[in-house]
């Protein structure tokens, strides 16, 4: 396979519920994570749901970092996709999990790309 990117799916269980419901904190944690690992932020969108929960996305030059939170369950689903080599996605995943005081993170890594035949135009 011609690997074009690394996609991490984060199952963040047993997080601090108060943090998961704080849009300002989530935004700051994601921006700080991106900056700390060397990602280039090119856009953002965040929303607080009623009565609770936050969703947010950082568009980064390397692809994206996104999150969806369920404070009532102490759970967040996050996504880190990088199609470059300017930062290590696992480092970003660790930083984000720590920022949310996650006690039970699970990370699944998916290599994204094309079969060799597709990559060479066969």
Identify any residues that bridge with 46 across adjacent strands, giving them in sequence order.
Answer: 56
Q: Residue 68 catalytic?
A: yes
Question: Which is catalytic among the residues 17, 63, 82, 102?
Answer: 63
90-to-6, 11, 26, 30, 104 alpha-carbon distances in Å: 10, 13, 18, 14, 15
Q: Residue 47 catalytic?
A: no
The residues, any chain, with a CB within 8 Å of residue 111's CB and separated by 6 or more, are 1, 3, 5, 6, 7
Q: Residue 7 catalytic?
A: no
* Alpha-carbon span 76 to 27, nearest angstrom: 14
Active site residues: 63, 68, 83
């Amino acid at each position: 396979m011609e690997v074009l990117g690394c996609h991490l799916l984060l199952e963040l269980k047993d997080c601090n519920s108060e943090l998961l419901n704080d849009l300002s904190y989530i935004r700051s944690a994601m921006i700080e994570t991106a900056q700390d690992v060397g990602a280039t932020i090119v856009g953002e969108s965040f929303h607080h749901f009623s009565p609770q929960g936050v969703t947010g996305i950082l568009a980064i030059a390397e692809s994206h970092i996104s999150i969806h939170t369920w404070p009532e369950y102490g759970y967040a689903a996050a996504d880190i996709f990088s199609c470059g080599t300017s930062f290590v996605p696992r480092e970003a995943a660790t930083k984000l999990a720590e920022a949310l005081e996650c006690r039970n993170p699970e990370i699944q890594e998916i290599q994204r790309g094309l079969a060799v035949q597709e990559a060479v135009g066969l």
